[in-house]
Structure 1
Amino acid sequence: MIAPRRFLPSIPSLLALEAVDRLGSASAAALDLNLTQSAISRQLKQLEQQMEVDLIARDQMRMQLTPAGASFAKEARAILSRLAQASVKLRANPDGGSLNLSILASFGLHWLAPRLKDFVGKNPGITVNLQTHNLPFSFDAGTAQAAIHYGNRDWPGVDYLPLMPKHVLPVCAPELLDRPLERPLANPADLLDYPLLHLETHPDSWEQWFALHDVAADRLQGMLFDQSSAMTQAAVHGLGIALLPTFLADAEIAAGRLQLAIADDPVTLGEYFLVWPAEHADDYPLMKFRDWLLGQIAAEES
């Protein structure tokens, strides 16, 4: 529900307030907005009268916002930015709208991106805008309407669509193992004799993997990476053994850049989800994207 009209200031007055706060003077704000200095002053005066709050500290030699004015300007800046982004999206997608999707880089680039052409072909009026993130991630910090999440159902205030378990394999460059090619290690504990590569967002993955193989391994150390792609390249160049999701490991193994470090089946560490805030649940682009994802998952499972 929109607030009563008397609480909704005009966009020109908000622009004037934001510019004065950002640039520090009415003259600079006037130049930035291509207005006169008196026009800036009038907009601020009208805003004060409408809000019935002093926004300008008039006992100063130069124009300066009061604490209340500075706080209001910060809120106005965020609202104006979102309005501008919405206008750009509307102009770019007048038919079906767009979906701002925040993705985990490795999942988005290696699993989702190759399949997006199918979604675009079936939904030509919808544009999917991708932005990458690391964990932790918050919808409050950006413009995303949905996100790819990895882990557990421990994120309050969002709805979940399960996508797939995260199956991982320990892989390394063929030359790292001191043995003939295509001869992986047989004993999980033997991996402790080699450098292990770690992901910053999931630093305990190796401990979980060893625990599933009944191997005591606490406080493991090694190179730390913020992206799976960087860790993959480190493994390719022989810097250690990496735990990679199967959709990433399989491609590197097929290309001959990596091999299994141990002859073992993939293990499951967590799950991938599509998540979204409740207020975006009925967004048309998101609804179509969810339906399409369900079809992709069903096709893979069959």
Structure 2
Amino acid sequence: MNTQSLRLLNTLPPLEALVSFEAVARCGSFTRAARELSITQSAVSKQIKGLEEALRCALFDRHVRGIQLSAAGASFLEELEPLLYKLHRAVLRVQHEHDTQAISIACTQAVAHFWLFPRVVRFNQMYPDIAVNIISSNTINERSCNDSDFGILYGDGDWPSLEGTRLFPEIVYPVCSTELSLPQPETVADLCSLPLIQLDSRAWDCMDWQDWFKHFGLIYDTPRNAITFNQVTLVFNAALEGLGVSLGWDYMARQAIDSGKLRQLGGFAYETGRWDYLVHAKHRPLTEPAQIFHDWLV
């Protein structure tokens, strides 16, 4: 190992700490991140503390109601997330060269957690010899989907290099915890006076409250003191915790509604006409395991 490599190694935080930070930022909770990583909450806390010491700044603001990314943390996550995604993708690509029974699928974090993961579990029970590797990132696009066997991509289905099959439509409506005592709104305008959890989606293509109200012909101004998150999964978890009303995408919210954890507020739903598609590269024939997975999922 040369001097330059040693210098680089000494300045980089441990990979475990970076992975823990990404998990906590995405889950919005040390407990949920620990559960996902299959380690203790104490271990996650130590990883984050060590990372903050190495970076010499606080990555999270701690509140009585939970944690939230600090300005430095949000900026760091924006830089780190695509790098971890590329590293994961590189590892899977090398593995695929030696394992013809493995397939990979890229999708957003919300789709991975709320829609795809339960289905992959069921698929694995039926086809235990086929390994499905999920690559989750909110920065996926047509190009990155070409790097995996499959992608789940949101849009109108028009991608020149990809074949696409519709999976589920985009249907969005207000949801809140069943334990949160709020009046049932009679009109869309009635929602404006409720504690709405905000989604800051400026860095990626996703609907926020202003977009949602605009569909119903209303102009909505975000309150200055509104709770705001920059990830759909964080907004959804905040609603589950009873912090207010969030936008609920049907593919995410349906199970929680059916199980009694969430309730839909009013009968107002915005069906955008756009879908999430299962896509794969047009120029590359599907392997036998990939074809089995495609037919099963569709």
Q: TM-score, normalised by structure 1?
A: 0.58
Distance change in 2, residues 1:134/1:171 (3 Å): same
1:227 maps to what in 2?
A: 231
Q: Supply the RMSD in Å over aligned alpha carbons.
A: 3.5
Superposition pairs of residues 41-80 of structure 1, within 5 angstroms: none
Code of the aligned partner of 1:192: C
1:249 aligned residue (253, 259, 267): 253
Match of 1:98 in 2: 102
Q: 1:210 aligns with which of 191, 199, 213?
A: 213
Structure 1 runs, 4 residues or longer, greater than 6 Å off: 19-22
Q: Which residue of 2 aligns with 1:189?
A: 189
What runs of 5+ residues in structure 2 fail to find an aligned partner?
Answer: 7-85
- Does residue 268 in structure 1 map to residue 271 in structure 2? yes
The answer to whether residue 154 in structure 2 is matched with residue 147 in structure 1 is: no
CA distance in 1, matches of 2:162, 2:146: 15
Deviations 1:83-107 (A, max 9, x none): x75553455x4xx521111122222
In structure 2, relative to structure 1, the CA distance for the partners of 1:259 and 1:202 (3 Å cut) is farther
Q: 1:232-274 CA distances to partner (integer Å, 9 max, x unpaired)? A: 1211333332111223323323444332222x05432321111
Q: Provide the residue aligned with 2:19 in structure 1.
A: none
For the residue of structure 2 that corresponds to 1:185, the secondary structure is coil
Tell me the amino acid that sits aligned with residue 253 of structure 2: A
Q: CA deviation at 1:129?
A: 0.5
Q: Distance in 1 between matches of 2:257 and 2:229?
A: 21
Which whole-Å CA distance do the structure 2 matches of 1:163 and 1:229 have between them? Answer: 20
- In structure 1, the gaps of 5 or more residues are 1-18, 25-77, 295-302
Mapped pair 1:119 → 2:150? no
> For residue 156 of structure 2, what is the amino acid of its counterpart?
N
Q: Give the residue type in structure 1 aligned to 2:270.
A: V
Q: Look at both structures and tell me which one has the larger radius of gyration over its CA atoms.
A: 1
TM-score (norm 2): 0.58
Partner amino acid, structure 1, of 2:189: A
Give the structure 1 partner of residue 55 of structure 2: none
CA 1:118–1:177 in 2, change beyond 3 Å: closer, same or farther? closer
Per the alignment, in what secondary structure is the counterpart of residue 124 of structure 2? helix
Q: Distance in 2 between matches of 1:208 and 1:281?
A: 39
Q: Deviations over 1:131-170 (max 9, x none)?
A: 1110453545995232111232354422211111122221
